[in-house]
Amino acid sequence: MEPTPPNKPRTLRIIIAKPGMDGHDRGAKIIARALRDAGMEVIYLGLRQTAQSIVHAAIQEDADAIGLSILSGSHMHHFREVHQLLEAQNALDIVLFGGGIIPEEDLPALLELGVRGVFTPGAHTAEVVAFLQENVREKI
């Protein structure tokens, strides 16, 4: 029986969240919609999340990646905290990426921290889709 091809691409599961006190969720919603339209499953957590709630959701949902949208200027803090919690859970295989109003001079430090991709205003949604398809590794 050869009903479905054995190497059929797996459906990617992505968490999209906004950490902290930042009420602007249009960007997060646009990304969520774009990922859905690219055939991914988006677990949308929305506004005012803590690092704990984000990592907890990512574990339970067995997510492939976590995308954070931050427009409040507190990106260094939130990315660091989420990364540390992922590390504590031995879950660094979950790809951490994000976007928002993030100054260019902060990008090297974010990448150094373990953030795998950062998308700032002007980035095309197709870039985010391609990034995820390239960076998410096969599980098990």
Partner 1 sequence: MQTSPLQDSLLTAFQGGQERALARVLTLLEGGRQDSRGQDSMGQELLQAVRQLGKRSRVVGITGPPGAGKSTLSDALISVYRARGETVAVLAVDPSSPFSGGAILGDRIRMLRHTHDSGVFVRSVATRGALGGLAQSVSAMLSALEGFGFDHILLETVGVGQSEVDIAQVADSVVLVLTPAGGDGIQAFKAGILEIADLLVVNKADLPEADRFSRALSGALELGDHGFDSWMPPVLQTIAPSGTGISELVLALERHQTYLRENNTATGLEARRLKRARFEVRSSLLQWAEQLTGAAGNAVFSRVAQGQISPLEVARTLLEELNRSSLS
Using CB under 8 A, list all residues that contact partner 1: 1-4, 6, 8, 10-11, 13, 32-33, 35-46, 49, 52-53, 56-57, 59-62, 89-91, 139-140
Joined tokens for residue 103: 């100054």
| Of residues 32, 41, 108, 111, the one with CA closest to residue 68 | 32
Shortest approach of partner 1 to residue 22 CB, angstroms? 16
Joined tokens for residue 45: 């957590």
Q: Which is nearer to partner 1, 112 or 138 (CB)?
A: 138
Shortest approach of partner 1 to residue 47 CB, angstroms? 9
Q: Which residue has the tokens 């590390």?
A: 87
**Secondary structure E strands in 1-140:** 13-19, 41-49, 65-70, 95-100, 117-119
Q: Which is nearer to partner 1, 1 or 108 (CB)?
A: 1
Shortest approach of partner 1 to residue 121 CB, angstroms? 23
